Amino acid sequence: MVKDKIILKNETGLHARPASELAKLAASFKSTVKLNVNGKTVDAKSILAIMAAGIKYNTEIEIECDGEDEEKALSEIIKGFNNNFSE
Amino acid sequence: MLKGKGVSNGIGFGNIVILKKVERKIEKKTIESAQVENELERLHEALREVIDETEIQMKHISGTEADIMQAYLMILQDPSLISETENAIKNSHYNAEYAVEVGFNSVIQIFENMDDAYMASRSRDILDIKNRVLGKLLKEETIDLSNLKPNTIIVATELTTSETAKLDFKNVSGIITEMGGENSHTSIMARTHTIPAITKVEEATKLFKDGDSVAINGTSGEIYVNPTEEEKQKLLTLEKQLEEEKTELEKYRDKESITKDGTKVKLYANIGLPSDAEIALKNTAEGVGLLRSEFLYMDSDTMPTEEDQFEAYKQVAEIMKDKEAIIRTLDIGGDKDLKYLNLEKEANPFLGYRAIRLCLDNPKIFKIQLRAILRASAFGKLAIMFPMISSIEELRAAKQVLEECKKELDNENVSYDKNIQVGIMIEIPSAALIADKLAQECDFFSIGTNDLIQYTVAVERGNEKISKLYTKYHPAVIKLIKQAIDGAHLSNITCGMCGEAAGDPLYIPLLIGLGLDEFSMNSNNILRARRTINNLDKEICKKLSEEILQMASAEEVEKRLREFVNN
């Protein structure tokens, strides 16, 4: 299992579009992808779970990947966050 | 032959498809363990069908709509939603239909309770998806409006905005509805897309059968079921005439909107949906003179958020680019009600709590819209127009709220067009009578003839019994129009018109004579109006208007205008 932290820089939070980009990306890996945020754990492959978590601008998110492609999953997802999911 | 009210010109031949509203009942059943597999299979089959449909729909759309569909697809395949629903079958032994209710509702509830208004409104999307999945499970025959057979004639009680937004226009050759008038949403949409339409056909959804062959004349309102050869020929001849006129009008596509003696005017379009801006441009509109913002409010169970509105206005701004687009702020109340506002029934709704009155009384609602328009103004050339202004105090109060919104955005470092133009509708006689004063405090006028006539002659628009008294030819109406135009010009601001009269070839010579600067109409009247204007002489029109201002009766006015046009 690997994990890392980032701070959300999408000004409007994880809205439908970035949430769907994130879920799509997470679902492309075999590993499980979880977000630990505000004391909750969210399945990053579920757009609904991501949106329902209501993650706002400047929130700290811990990304946790577990599985055979965990390293690649973690680095790609962090790249996605750094690009603000092309918002 | 049947007869209704023709609301969108043209001839249509085709086969009937009836849109019926289905009453749905979800039964709660407990299933045997042996049936669990079967119910799970039914669930997945229904989900699959909705996914396939959505993927097909996505091929026809782009932009924001495509993003929404993309999110729909993800929701349909969402692991947490699916496991929630599957568990309702596996653990609680519910039938698939009830499991969908339980599973989807739990998610809908989470979203509804979120404090973020944008997220809260996403619950609508999930509800929409739930209904589609249930429709599949119950094997309801829903008509896929986005994928119709060629030459379909739609029959419905009335079409909602979301239904018309999906409509596969190229295959619709006519629309017949039971309800709705000339200015109902469906009628306006039909005219915009040049689809023949007839309304006020009582019990239409029961009168016809699916597949009936019909021919309709959207001008006269005539409907022929299984038309005879003779009737067909008659309609085909009419259709040919309409086609010929259309070709004739194409010549005016690249012409300027200018009179023979060199007076330039602006020909704008009235639109009801952001995507209609494309149609306006196709019809050579030089701007949008009226974007009715009600589409955002009418078809929804909750108040549209700032984000929803921003996206819609931004779409218009981006389509129109450097061309002006005037957005009329919320014009609700009167005959148009919104469930979520809980408006009281009034004895005289047209004289009551509506439009700017309601907005000034609910600054929260008003501000959401103004902020959305301001934010979108950074993407094009938007203007703001307040409806139903009757006094200078209302104009000042509305501008005050706008200033507050600008300050808020300044503080939030959000960009907007600092020179955004602010105008008012002149649709109440009191406003026309003090037009010179109002003109000193705003940037433009737009005369709304539909309401101006109703308030001047005290005739409710929709009341058939007194409809003869409702006329744009009444000399009092013309005097008020003159007063509005003169008042505007005293302060060097422009005066437009966005009522139906602005596109009427009979009325245009009078308006040119009175000095109107901007004519806003249904997109498909623009080329015809340009032809009319190209053939007019301003000086002659001025004399005509002076002559008309001396007249006492509407009949006399109409007769004189007909004479003028026929010479």
Write the CATH number for B213: 3.50.30.10
- Residue B414 within a domain: yes
Q: Based on the domain organization, do B297 and B393 belong to the same domain? A: yes
- Looking at residue B392, its amino acid is I
User: What is the number of other CB atoms lying within 10 angstroms of the CB of residue B492?
Assistant: 7
Q: Which of B137, B155, B174 is the last residue of a domain?
A: B137
Q: How far is A82 from chain B (nearest CA, A)?
A: 21
Q: What is the pTM of this model?
A: 0.68
Q: What is the mean pLDDT of residues A1-21?
A: 84
Is B97 part of a structural domain of the chain? Answer: yes
Given this model, what pLDDT does residue B118 score?
Answer: 65
CA distance A20 to chain B (A): 6
| B547-552, Cβ contacts within 8 angstroms, sequence gap of 24 or more | B548/B475, B548/B478, B548/B510, B548/B513, B549/B475, B549/B478, B549/B479, B549/B482, B551/B475, B552/B475
Quick check: B81 contacting A, CB < 8 Å? yes
Q: Is residue B25 part of a domain?
A: no
Checking ipTM against 0.90, whether it exceeds it is: no
β-pair partners for B155: B18, B176
Q: Is B108 on the interface with A (CB under 8 A)?
A: no
Q: Do B74 and A45 touch (CB under 8 A)?
A: no
**A44 has a pLDDT exceeding 90:** yes
Q: Which of A2, A6, A15, A56 is catalytic?
A: A15
Min CA distance, B319 vs chain A (Å)?
Answer: 20
Together in a domain, B458 and B439: yes
Q: Confirm whether B256 is domain-assigned.
A: no
Q: Are residues B167 and B122 in the same domain?
A: no
Helix pair angle (B117-137, B36-58), 10° resolution: 120
> Do B37 and B179 belong together in one domain?
no
Q: Is residue B562 part of a domain?
A: yes
Residue B116 pLDDT: 67
pLDDT at A10 over 80: no
Stretch A54-62: mean pLDDT, rounded?
A: 88
Structure confidence at residue B466 (pLDDT): 86
Q: State residue B107's pLDDT score.
A: 85
Residue A79: the pLDDT is: 92
Is there a domain that residue B26 lies in? no
CATH number of the domain residue B129 falls in: 1.10.274.10
**Residue B116 with chain A: CB contacts under 8 Å:** 13, 54
Identify the segments of chain B with pLDDT beneath 50: none
Q: Is residue B251 part of a domain?
A: no
Domain edge (last residue) among B80, B105, B137: B137
Are B292 and B429 part of one and the same domain? yes
Distance, in Å, from the CA atom of A63 to the CA atom of B433, rounded to the nearest integer, reads 66
**Which residues of chain B make contact with A23, given a CB cutoff of 8 A?**
74, 78
- B-chain residues near A12 (CB < 8 A): 118, 307
> Is the same domain home to B123 and B269?
no
Q: Is there a contact between A51 and B119 if contact means CB atoms under 8 Å apart?
A: yes
Q: Which domains does chain A have, with CATH numbers?
A: 2-86 (3.30.1340.10)
Residue where one domain finishes, among candidates B215, B245, B275:
B245
> Do B13 and B56 belong together in one domain?
no
Say which residue the tokens 């979800």 belong to.
B26
Identify whether residues B65 and B207 lie together within a single domain.
Answer: no
Which pLDDT value is given to residue B60?
67
Per-residue pLDDT, A61: 93
Domain shared by B311 and B223, yes or no: no
Is B410 found in the same domain as B352? yes
The CA distance from B396 to B404, in Å, is: 12
Predicted local confidence at residue B191, as pLDDT? 84
Nearest to B74 among A12, A23, A54 (CB): A23
Which residue type occupies B439?
A
- With CA atoms as reference, report the closest residue to B293 among B332, B241, B348: B332
- Does residue B132 sit in the same domain as residue B151? no
Q: Report how far apart, in Å, the C-alpha atoms of B72 and of each of B75, B83, B116, B126, B222 are.
A: 5, 17, 20, 8, 41
The CATH number that applies at residue B304 is 3.20.20.60
Instruction: Determine the structural domain holding residue B52 and report its residue range.
Output: 33-137
| Axis-axis angle for helices B538-549, B554-566 (nearest 10) | 160
Return the biggest CA–CA distance within chain A.
Answer: 33
Q: Is A1 exposed, middle or buried (0-12, 13-18, 19+ CB in 10 A)?
A: exposed
**Co-location of B378 and B490 in the same domain:** yes
Nearest CB partner across the interface for A17, out of B67, B107, B110? B67
What's residue B471's pLDDT? Answer: 93
**How many domains does one find in chain B?**
3
Q: Does residue B124 belong to any structural domain of this protein? A: yes
In chain B, how many H helices and how many E strands? 23, 16
Residues B455 and B499 sit within 8 Å (Cβ to Cβ): no
pLDDT confidence bin for A83, thresholds 50/70/90: confident
Q: What is the pLDDT of residue B251?
A: 94
